[in-house]
Amino acid sequence: MNEFWQEFLAIKHLDKQTKYASAYHFELTEKLATELLNLVLIGKKRATSSSLKAYEIGKEALPKGGDYNIITDFKGVPYGVVKTSKVTVLPYKEMTFELCKKEGEDDSLESWQRGHEHFFKEEGKEMGYEFNEDLMVVFEEFELVYQKPLIRLATKNDAQARGYVHFAAWQETYIPIMGEEFLAHQSLERSVAIAREHYADTLLAIVAGQVVGFLCFTKSRDADEPNAGEIQALYLLKKYQHQGIGYQLMRAGEEKLKEYPTLSLWVLLDNNSAITFYEQCGFKKDGKKQAIPLKNPVYEIRMRK
């Protein structure tokens, strides 16, 4: 657990002395714990409910805004870090759908009530309290700030999933930079075809069975960098950004290129967020600049490490 936590602190550039409030899994069975963990990892579950009695009996401090917690599977293996944004304590009978829908599990208040009444009754049997509608509920809202994806090499069979990430990332990120002229020539079918033909030397980031990002690595294509490795491309779906996944892809890519003394990459001149990210990964601008030939030229710059 400590290794996972220290990796999170390093990737997020947080003080090494920062502590996490708790490490926990959801629910009382492995099946439900896995289902809810996956809902958190895909961004659908952004809150959880607990009984105030459980905190009192366990003599645990209530969560508070700013707390970090490690989310695990049923066996205690860490998968993500969430940061508490808001805590509301209210009677079970006063729960509203506007609030409980943030848990991402139910499509009605009645559905939430059925599931949580069962949970609180079962927990009460174990901990020694009785459920009733006046039971105080601790409703904790959180943001997923880090997760550890599965990272593996791509195969030809991943073309559809990788192609979707490629196409979607262009739509999410590059329209303001590249303009409609360039993106008018892009399509999902074209991205899938590229992924099917060029799948070697590509790493995928996978969350809950879904490809959410990829990185391509190669020997430098630049004539003036004969002994350098190159990060050729890095794409990550917008909803999975700022969770440490990009950093982990970069680490894995750098490991694949460790035979080279120098690494380089090209990034769009106006993509400030990407430039900042690469600087945080240790890359620096080296002064090289080239134009992408469009009606209104777009420039990219080289960075090296």
Chain-wide mean pLDDT for the chain?
A: 94
pLDDT category of residue 274 using cuts at 50, 70 and 90: very high
Domains 2-147 and 150-304 in one fold: no
Structure tokens at 127: 């901990």
HEC string of the chain equals CHHHHHHHHHHCCCCCCCCCCEEECCCCCHHHHHHHHHHHHCCCCCEEEEEHHHHHHCCCCCCCCCCEEEEECCCCCEEEEEEEEEEEEEEHHHCCHHHHHHHCCCCCHHHHHHHHHHHHHHHHHHHCCCCCCCCEEEEEEEEEEEECCEEEECCHHHHHHHHHHHHHHHHHHHHHHHCHHHHCCCCHHHHHHHHHHCCCCEEEEEECCEEEEEEEEEECCCCCCCCEEEEEEEEECHHHCCCCHHHHHHHHHHHHCCCCCEEEEEEECCCHHHHHHHHHCCCEEEEEEEEECCCCCEEEEEEEC
Q: Are 145 and 243 in contact (CB under 8 A)?
A: yes
d(CA 121, CA 222): 65
d(CA 239, CA 243): 9
Give tens-digit pLDDT for 30-83: 999 999 999 999 999 999 999 999 999 999 999 999 999 999 999 999 999 999
Q: Which of 21-25, 97-101, 158-162, 186-190 has the lowest mean pLDDT?
A: 186-190
So where are the chain's domains?
2-147, 150-304
Q: Which of 40-54, 131-145, 170-184 has the lowest mean pLDDT?
A: 170-184
Percent of the chain whose predicted confidence (pLDDT) is above 70: 98
Record the pTM.
0.82
Q: Is the pLDDT of residue 14 over 90?
A: yes
Fold of 2-147: Sulfate adenylyltransferase (3.10.400)
Q: Is the pLDDT of residue 233 over 90?
A: yes
CATH superfamily, with its number, for domain 150-304: Gcn5-related N-acetyltransferase (GNAT) (3.40.630.30)
